[in-house]
Chain A
Amino acid sequence: EAGVVQSPRYKIIEKKQPVAFWCNPISGHNTLYWYLQNLGQGPELLIRYENEEAVDDSQLPKDRFSAERLKGVDSTLKIQPAELGDSAVYLCASSEIGGGAGNEQFFGPGTRLTVL
């Protein structure tokens, strides 16, 4: 079974440029999460989707960040414009709705963003 797929794996851009990250969750997983992981820190939730609905986006900086999951499957996270402080790893995870027994979230390898 394929895991969570993310692309690109690495991205280097100059500040003020736009950037987009793509995530394809595990087949059948209705819940999708985007996390931000700064160097030396644990992941922090940015947004959570149940199917195509963003049910928790309270931690998403909406002035520059946006996300979509139009058909309830894959998702795109965008930053426009990027700032130096956005350099981090962006992780995507998915789980079954309700998580089954204990809500295991399956994580992708992440996209490492460097803003110059």
Chain B
Amino acid sequence: AQSVTQLGSHVSVSEGALVLLRCNYSSSVPPYLFWYVQYPNQGLQLLLKYTTGATLVKGINGFEAEFKKSETSFHLTKPSAHMSDAAEYFCAVSHPPNSGYALNFGKGTSLLVTP
């Protein structure tokens, strides 16, 4: 069985400050890992993903995440927050091909960016 834990249901940062959203997973086999963003009343949009290879993954809008197997973590970071980054962020895991690539999501972290 696989699960995803996102630490902190709400995170608040000042504009220009570092963004750090935490994600830990439990898995008995190598996972594929994803971060999705959801803006109000919109569907989810992929920010970045880790499948194999380089453990530091860069995504859209200046976000990046590092897969750390020893810590079973895949934390999302951005050096400088923008007001437009305010949204809900979801970490997800899949285990292809056994699961058919179905995603198992965390509960999400709401990011608030203050002026």
Which residues of A are in contact with B by a Cβ distance under 8 Å?
A: 3-4, 31, 33, 40-45, 48, 50, 55-56, 91, 93, 95, 98-99, 101-110, 112
CA distance A40 to B94 in the complex (A): 21
Whether the Cβ atoms of B92 and A42 lie closer than 8 Å is yes
Q: Which residue of B lies closest to A38 (CB)?
A: B107
Partner of A101 from the list B45, B51, B92 (CB cut-off 8 Å) is: B51
How many pairs of A and B residues are in contact by the CB < 8 Å rule? 67
Contacts A/B (CB < 8 Å), 22 sampled: A4-B43, A31-B101, A41-B107, A42-B107, A43-B44, A43-B103, A45-B104, A48-B100, A91-B43, A93-B43, A98-B96, A98-B97, A98-B101, A102-B32, A102-B49, A103-B94, A104-B46, A107-B36, A107-B44, A108-B43, A110-B43, A112-B41
* Residue among A4, A55, A93, A106 making CB contact with B100, cutoff 8 Å: A55
Contact A43–B105 (Cβ < 8 Å): yes
Chain A min CB distance to B81 (Å): 22
Residues of B within 8 A of A4 (CB): 43
Whether B108 contacts A41 by the Cβ 8 Å rule is yes
Smallest CB separation, A113 vs chain B (Å):
14
Contact A109 B90 (CB under 8 A): no
Is the interface on chain B under 10, 10 to 19, 20 to 34, or 35 or more residues? 20 to 34
Give, as a whole number of angstroms, the nearest-CB distance from A35 to chain B. 8
A103 to chain B, nearest CB (A): 4
Q: Does B55 contact A (CB under 8 A)?
A: no
How far, in Å, is A44 (CB) from chain B's closest CB? 7
A56 near B100: Cβ-Cβ < 8 Å: yes
Given A40-B108, A42-B90, A103-B32: A109 touches B102 (CB 8 Å cut-off): no
Contacts A40-B9, A102-B32, A112-B41 known; 18 new A-B pairs at CB < 8 A:
A3-B43, A33-B102, A40-B107, A41-B108, A42-B4, A42-B90, A42-B105, A42-B107, A42-B108, A43-B103, A43-B105, A48-B100, A93-B44, A95-B101, A102-B34, A104-B46, A107-B36, A109-B41
Which of A31, A99, A103, A109 is the one whose CB lies under 8 Å from B43? A109
Q: Which residues of A contact B84 (CB under 8 A)?
A: none
